[in-house]
A and B are shown apart, each in its own frame.
Chain A
């Protein structure tokens, strides 16, 4: 299951990444393996999404979220 499949309010825990380049950027921003992520909302047109991670809010595109595999 990937992060892009969660609906607002759902929580997932990061397991691994499918894209190395993207993972480097996501990890810098605090999306690390073992870290819980809550989807807080989805943009009006369905993309991008906003998530809560490491105590702050981050937005990323659906495609980017689909590279994060959850436990």
Chain B
């Protein structure tokens, strides 16, 4: 779509910027990336009253143009880089009318860049309720910009805002806020002259940010560096001077235009809620309760849609097999590609539900309280208060959890969280644990109430959390932090969640996952499908021939025959051959080549293990039923020793392997997507494989 005017939304976090963006653009939005950085670029389109179309860019929320995270650094780049394709014609600065002072800091910075600006005074209803009176006309006159009071949540004032956007000036008419040149007169003059700039604040910002912005040539950047030395410019001192000057301007402005009730307000509702939610005991109990509920819901609510998605794909595969002529190409499409697609789509319910919870917790303001409560505990192991949610979400699925680490501003804390999240027992490991525990752990009670199998399963969950914490601690010692960690965070007022934001977040994240992680998963699934479906030489043809002999066709029923053929084909496929090849490596762990095949086929997704076991042991009846697979595996004997293959030692060794090994293409893909560097998924894959091997070896030898 082509837009007639480009509008950027800028504002502090928690000012209702996303709500306004969603209201303006509706479903007409897309997520891309800003070139060269891992920052989501949300754009959408909005039709204006005069029939033109405006492209709206939602910039990350920030308190100032001096960035504290990568997300924030994009704001200055987009606003300032005049040669960039994203440069806005107009900026709408969203200001929280209940918190004018701090919100106006960012406004004065943006205004000084001399881009045409409109102020959207959001939450005007809440501000009136709190008894704040704003002389909007005088306010607008003093700043020299249009000011539109709105309530994005109640969809009030949006038409007026659209009108104001339509008739906005093409040139910046705002009054200057502070005397920018006075901060560093010679430096600003010289940079402006050398780089041919006509805006002193732009020149000053470049002095601060020339090392990080992407649009300067190395020569320009070096020249600025040189000038800074010449005029002994101190970046932080200059920032401090500027901030104080800006707040002086803001205080004067507010003194003339705003009346805030002097009388001490009654204890706010938010404060009362906080007394309970961050209480020494109740705080943790409530948090634990919310987590349990969230965890339970992700499991139980997603079960039905996941089953239906699985059924739908199975039905599609079956139908296509019947409609299309048999042949290798059709098999590739139906079993490889559609099979891989099914493996991607099946995660959508869990992703959507987890993100619904996360966005509700964030929207209400509860998430920042969790961070507040947990920070000290998490900091000890190199994590951050904000790591709690991804780690807990990891019990459902690492994929959405890793996507949710974006709320962690500190680079090192975020990387450690991403690195350890896949260690937490996700729902794909559950069927494997259930299968193996059922096989070797007796189903009886100890100490009257505890079921041994249940204890073993709980043990695996607790074990995973402990190992994540230990590995996090190790990474804390290894990784070098690029930035100094700090924790200066707003605790927003409690609010009701905005349900359409919740819906948008579910849709956004699911779509991002399918489009970006989906590609890698499908590619890996296709490769694995080829490995499992083809064998070297004429082995497959000979198997077909062998089972055409009367001794087989007469004795076996047709479906038993198919199972026997499939089982023998898998054994002779490339995957089967590979299983034999890796046998010497996995023998010390107690695994034979059959388990080797399952390790290979479940390389992209752990849950494939059960299905492969079913094929290898030619399970009768419904292979989805874990009990029938268990029975066959239980009776499997080692041909050399005559003892059962799945002893206690082998089963636990196998569980240890799945607890640590990165058998999940989706996670690898999403780690790459979030870090934009193959080094991170590679390191993660390597350390997890090493741990998996070591833990299996240890478990096998201890229990043997």
User: Which A residues fall within an 8 A CB radius of B?
Assistant: 20-30, 32-33, 40-41, 43-48, 50, 54-61, 64
Contact = CB atoms under 8 A, between A and B. Distances in A.
Contact of A28 (B64, B275, B375): B64
A55 B260 contact: yes
Contact of B488 (A32, A45, A47, A60): A60
Interface string B592-631: 0000000000000000000000000000000000000000
B375 A43 contact: yes
A55 B99 contact: yes
A28 B63 contact: yes
B102 interface: yes
A21 B484 contact: yes
A55 B487 contact: no
Contact of A54 (B102, B236, B371): B102
A29 B13 CA distance: 12
Given A46-B376, A48-B376, A24 B236 contact: yes
A58 B490 contact: yes
Interface in B492-513: 492-493
Contacts of A54: 99, 101-102
B375 A61 contact: yes
A20 B237 contact: yes
24 contacts: A20-B236, A20-B240, A21-B236, A24-B66, A27-B243, A28-B66, A29-B490, A33-B244, A40-B271, A40-B274, A41-B274, A43-B278, A43-B372, A43-B375, A44-B278, A45-B373, A50-B278, A54-B101, A55-B102, A57-B491, A59-B487, A59-B488, A59-B491, A61-B486
Interface in B265-287: 270-271, 274-275, 278-280, 283-284
Can you list the 9 inter-chain pairs with the closest CB atoms, starting with the nearest? A57-B491, A45-B376, A44-B280, A27-B243, A30-B102, A28-B64, A24-B239, A47-B376, A61-B487
B491 A24 contact: no
A56 B260 CA distance: 13
Contacts of A25: 68, 486, 488
Interface in B283-305: 283-284
A30 B492 CA distance: 15
A48 B105 CA distance: 25
Contacts of B236: 20-21, 24
B377 interface: yes
Contacts of B491: 50, 57-59
A60 B485 CA distance: 12
A58 B283 contact: no
B249 interface: no
Given A20-B237, A60-B488, A61-B375, A28 B274 contact: no
Nearest to B65: A28
Contacts of A22: 486
A33 to B, nearest CB: 8
Contacts of B247: 27, 30, 32
Interface of B: 63-64, 66, 68, 98-99, 101-102, 105, 236-237, 239-240, 243-244, 247, 260, 270-271, 274-275, 278-280, 283-284, 368, 371-373, 375-377, 484, 486-493
The SS class assigned to the B binding surface is helix
Nearest to B280: A44
A32 B99 CA distance: 16
Given A28-B64, A29-B102, A43 B373 contact: yes
Contacts of A41: 274-275, 278
A9 B8 CA distance: 41
A48 B240 contact: no
A59 B489 CA distance: 5
Contacts of A48: 372, 375-376, 487
Nearest to B130: A55
B240 A27 contact: yes
A58 B373 contact: no
A47 B486 CA distance: 13
B101 A30 contact: yes
B488 A24 contact: no
B240 A29 contact: no
B376 A56 contact: no
A24 B243 contact: yes
Contact of B105 (A28, A59, A61): A28
Contacts of A33: 244
A19 B342 CA distance: 55
A28 B484 CA distance: 17
Nearest to B284: A44
Contacts of A47: 375-376
A60 B376 contact: no
Contacts of A24: 66, 236, 239-240, 243
A29 B64 CA distance: 9
B240 to A, nearest CB: 5
Contacts of B487: 48, 59-61, 64
A64 B278 CA distance: 20
Contacts of A23: 240
A57 B237 CA distance: 26
B490 A50 contact: no
A58 B486 CA distance: 13
Contacts of B271: 40
Contacts of A57: 270, 490-493
Contacts of A26: 488
Contacts of A46: 376
A59 B488 CA distance: 6
B227 to A, nearest CB: 21
B484 to A, nearest CB: 7
B488 A29 contact: yes
Contact of A56 (B102, B243, B278, B372): B102
